[in-house]
A and B are shown apart, each in its own frame.
Chain A
Amino acid sequence: MKMVVQQLADDVRLKEGMNACMNCGICTAVCPAAEYFEYDPRSIVVAVQSGNEEKIQQLLTSDTIWMCGQCMSCKTRCPRSNCPGIIINVLRKVSQATGAFVQSRLGRQQYLIMKTIGANLLRYGYCIHPSAVDIQNHPEQGPVWEWVYSNREEVYERLGANLDREGPGAMRKIATNDLLELAVIFEQSGGTVLWQSIETHSKNKAIELGLVDSQGNPCMDLYTNYLLNEDPEF
């Protein structure tokens, strides 16, 4: 197995996102995640810059790297043209490839995202579909969305959308062949490998947590439920 430092360096985005950090704190100053969490993009850049295998391993298994909200506010301002947000993408990639992500609560949530956004992507050809924004999971969407959700055929039709139908237009059904192309692109370019890694490591974690069925196989419904109700440690 390659050292994680090398795995990070293999990603071009590390070259794009990291020059050399001078610890000025300009990124942390405007980082919405730093205001909300115990999170400091500056020290992440410094840790990656150190090339210290142990420190980086620690990051990969931590909640920290999952706190970034990917707004890229840090990119605009850095006086050394670093981009902590992109460095985070690289750390997350390696964390998922090595399975380190299942060791942190926020990291484990990748399973949930894969099963929602990921599934939408290949099923509908969109990241989001109205039928997937259900009202139990989205109380913040309010009564108007509830109305849209329950009357979606009628509402989308009135607004000239083409919900789940053939031809062009908003919310149209994407043709089978186009969806197939997306799936083959996923296969060809590493998307599927990533998902397999997320799946395998999540299943192992489910077993480790005793979330199994009567045959001792991982029960992913229980695992999903576990992830949705896990208490933050801090």
Chain B
Amino acid sequence: MTKKKHIAIIGGGIAGLEAGSVLTRQGYKVTIIEKENKTGGLLNHWSSLFPDFSLPGEVLARIQPENPDLTLIHNTCIESIKKENGRFELFDKRHLKLYADALLLATGLSVFDASLKEEYGYGLFINVITSSDFERIHKAGQKLLTAQGDPPKRVAIIHCVGSRDAKVGNGYCSKVCCITGVKQAIAISRMLPECEVFNFYMDLRLYGSKYDALYLEAQKRHQIQFIRGRLSEVSENQDQSLQLKAEDTLQGRPLRMQADMILLLTGLEAARQNENLCKNNHLELDENRFFKSENMQYHRNCSRQEGIFMAGSCICPMSVNETLDSARSAAIEVDNYLTQKER
């Protein structure tokens, strides 16, 4: 038997891990390179998952691949890729790292820096938090408290922060923040039944199966109020509570509201290193800075560089189940490529 082909996967989030485990089971040698000291990606930080409130730990436990043909390298950030003699060479900060016959990108997402949306006062007003902050608080088993240490009586959840916004250079929809907003509204309501929760949205994009049921539950069981209007400005009152200005567009009237806390549903951006990875090869980014597919419909997992494939949310923002589906279909594409090359 010939020597096993070697596949390098950049990024050890759930996409990289799932693809890695499928590919080793198919008989390949796989190396996953992860820049953090831990695999699992963003899921490490989340408390429970929409739409069923299952635990991220359960997902991670299922896909932690155990296989002698799989190597995990931590604390290594891949900065560039070169194709040389039909093989790929991966580098981190100038040192040659490893060779591979095929390459799978699973670099995932980075969360929009909410302080860039200056009018919302993140980093300036102490009672403005982000969805990621909330997940961390929730995961640590803490109650949501204002900076003054009181349970908030009113929380406003703000949709589309850093998404669908030419001002911050992100014209696209981040797709999973609407449903995250519904999930977090319910979580707050369960945690603090007395607390009023308002969601300020422009369009509720609850595209997934069971997402609308969660919306219904939020309204019926938890009295979450949904206001159609995008937040324009946050200011801090003397007692550090917050004033927000939006339009209730269904009424056509401007609306000033006082809230104890504001939770920003920050958008999702592509990983920052992606741009570097496109040098010295034919990889391309799309207009939203995610990796561009060879074909949007038919070859979503194939990049513009032969031999390099993509899995999960480095293609576009995705939920966990979509990410896993994407990882498995990427594995099929990689396998097809390597078997065809063989022949």
Residues of chain A at the chain B interface (Cβ within 8 Å): 19, 22-31, 34-35, 40, 42-43, 76-81
Contacts and interface: CB of A to CB of B under 8 A. Distances in A.
A13 B229 CA distance: 27
A81 B232 contact: no
Interface of B: 119, 160, 164-167, 202, 228-233, 245-249, 252-255
A76 B117 CA distance: 12
A28 B166 contact: no
B249 A42 contact: yes
B166 A80 contact: yes
B175 to A, nearest CB: 16
A162 B158 CA distance: 55
Contacts of B228: 25
Nearest to A35: B254
11 contacts: A24-B249, A25-B229, A25-B247, A26-B230, A26-B247, A28-B252, A29-B230, A29-B246, A30-B245, A42-B249, A81-B166
Given A29-B246, A79-B166, A24 B229 contact: yes
B232 A30 contact: yes
A34 B252 CA distance: 9
Contacts of A78: 167
Contacts of B255: 29
A26 B248 CA distance: 10
Contacts, number: 70
A42 B316 CA distance: 31
B165 A79 contact: yes
A52 B44 CA distance: 52
A77 B229 contact: no
Contacts of B233: 29-30, 77
Given A29-B247, A30-B245, A43-B252, A24 B167 contact: no
Nearest to B168: A79
A26 B164 contact: no
A77 B167 contact: yes
B232 A29 contact: yes
Contacts of A34: 247, 253-254
Contact of B232 (A19, A22, A26): A26
A63 to B, nearest CB: 16
Nearest to B255: A29
